[in-house]
Amino acid sequence: MLSKKMQTALNKQIVAELYSAYLYLSMSAYFHSISFGGFANWMRVQAMEESTHAMKIFDFVNERGGRILVSAIEKPATNWSSPLAAFQTVYKHEQKVTGMINSLVDLAITERDHATQNFLQWFVSEQVEEEASADDVVQKLKMVGKEGGGMFMIDRELGQRVFTPPAAEEGGE
């Protein structure tokens, strides 16, 4: 059984994950509007990943006898000054999410909730990947600047990304 503190914190994280999905969908729309289909694809795949993260936590709370309490999702930004600015936003956002996950782990330790602490380890590892992925694109965008050929190549590369759901045994499912 989850403590009330842990249940509240996990419910908050579900909303944060759904906000992330919403933010990345907004970015996907932005990239479509400026004719960068590959960038739009990367963001759409990222939105699907974030929705999956929210549902993993949703299912975990239910499995532990907790109660899901949905709340409003904040409206994300809809425009960025450049692809680099958008990906810098992604990188900073993922760093913030990492901090949130780490705080959940700290709470699980304080609450002596070993099952939740174990469950959250998947997210700890996932955030390393999330930050590295966003930073990789930021660094490539910095290298090419606004150079057309380089932007075309990055757009093409990002268009190859596909959504792969996590394996069923990961994250306590």
In the chain, the domains with their CATH numbers are 4-162 (1.20.1260.10)
pLDDT over 60 at 172, yes or no: no
Nearest to 154 by CA among 87, 94, 90: 87
pLDDT in the model for residue 169: 53
Residue 119 pLDDT: 98
pLDDT in tens, 17-31: 999 999 999 999 999
Query: What pLDDT does residue 145 have?
Result: 86
pLDDT band at 173 (very low <50, low <70, confident <90, very high): very low
Task: Quote the CA–CA distance of 53 and 44 in Å, as a whole number.
Answer: 14
pLDDT in the model for residue 171 = 47
pTM equals 0.92
- Please report, as a single letter, which amino acid is at residue 173: E
Q: What is the largest CA-CA distance in the chain?
A: 55
